Amino acid sequence: MMNLSKQTIPALTIALLFAASAAIAQNPRFEELDGDGDGYISKTEARALPCLSDAFDQIDKQSEKGLSRSEYGSAVQQHCSKSGGESDWPQS
């Protein structure tokens, strides 16, 4: 059986919390970017996620409103995935 010190358990807990936070931050929810709550991500709102902003005009060809929830999901998978699990989503 492992003998963990009193300092090891809190350190492991903190490390796990940071890892979970990073995993969540890599995939911003649609609602986090839809600042005005109109159900679309505008070009201005997309600036918060550089990979999305860079490809916005290519992605949003059919609507002047912005990206719908389904367009956003597809766009993030296609334009915001990097090797190594990194993301353009700003880390706090």
Residue type, 37: G
Please say if the pLDDT value at position 83 is more than 60: no
Quick check: is 24 in a domain?
no
User: What is the C-alpha separation between 78 and 92, in angstroms, rounded?
Assistant: 24
Q: What's the pLDDT at 19? A: 52
Indicate which CATH number applies to the domain containing 50: 1.10.238
Quick check: is 11 in a domain?
no
Quick check: is 7 in a domain?
no
User: What is the C-alpha separation between 53 and 42, in angstroms, rounded?
Assistant: 9
Q: How many domains does the chain have?
A: 1
Quick check: is 19 in a domain?
no
User: What is the C-alpha separation between 26 and 63, in angstroms, rounded?
Assistant: 26
Quick check: is 23 in a domain?
no
Q: What's the pLDDT at 80? A: 85
Tell me the per-residue pLDDT of 17-68, one tens digit each, with 9 for 90 and over.
Answer: 555 444 444 668 999 999 999 999 999 999 999 999 999 988 887 777 899 9
| DSSP-derived secondary structure for 11-67 | HHHHHHHHHHHHHHHTS--HHHH-TT-SSSB-HHHHTTSHHHHHTHHHH-SS-SS-B
pTM of the model: 0.60
Quick check: is 21 in a domain?
no
Supply 54's token pair.
């860079």
Quick check: is 54 in a domain?
yes
